Structure 1
Amino acid sequence: MLEGAKLIGAGAATIASAGVVTGIGNVSSVRLHSVARNPSLAKQLFGYAISGFALTEATALFASMTASLTLSVS
């Protein structure tokens, strides 16, 4: 019973991966639209996009860490 609950918890923690993929796509899309509207801000927007990617990827790392910790609890 406990093993099944651990697997369900780890699976629920990995659902955040879908949100990460959506977030990265959103950051890319918004940057593309912004550069298309104002090309002179491309360098500044690149820095903002990298920050957005980093924060989004941090969510994926926290989710995978949570899933691995859930599975390693005895």
Structure 2
Amino acid sequence: MNYIAAGIALCGSAIGAGIGNGMLMAKLIESIARQPELEGNLRTNMFISMALVEAMPIIVIAMSFVLINE
């Protein structure tokens, strides 16, 4: 049963991160199209935001290992 819970958690976090990254990139492209002179600042903020979005699947992977090894 722990394997199923870990699999569902991993799938959910992967889907959430994919949607979050897609929305982030869409807004980045939209912002660069509006103000091309801010491209450097926007790209820096994008990398920071993407790291925060990707933190959740990494935490879920660690929690899944705990679930599997119980």
TM exceeding 0.5: yes
- Give aligned-pair identity as a percent: 25
Q: Cα distance, 1:12 vs. partner?
A: 2.3
Equivalences for residues 1-74 of structure 1 within 5 A: 5-14=1-10, 15-73=12-70
Q: Cα distance, 1:47 vs. partner?
A: 1.0
**Paired letter, 2:5:** G
Paired positions, count: 69
CA RMSD, Structure 1 to Structure 2 (Å) = 0.9
Structure number with bigger Rg: 1
Distance 1:13 1:67 in 2: 7
Q: Cα distance, 1:8 vs. partner?
A: 2.1
TM-score, with structure 2 as normaliser: 0.90
Unaligned runs of 5+ in 2: none
Unaligned runs of 5+ in 1: none
TM-score, with structure 1 as normaliser: 0.86
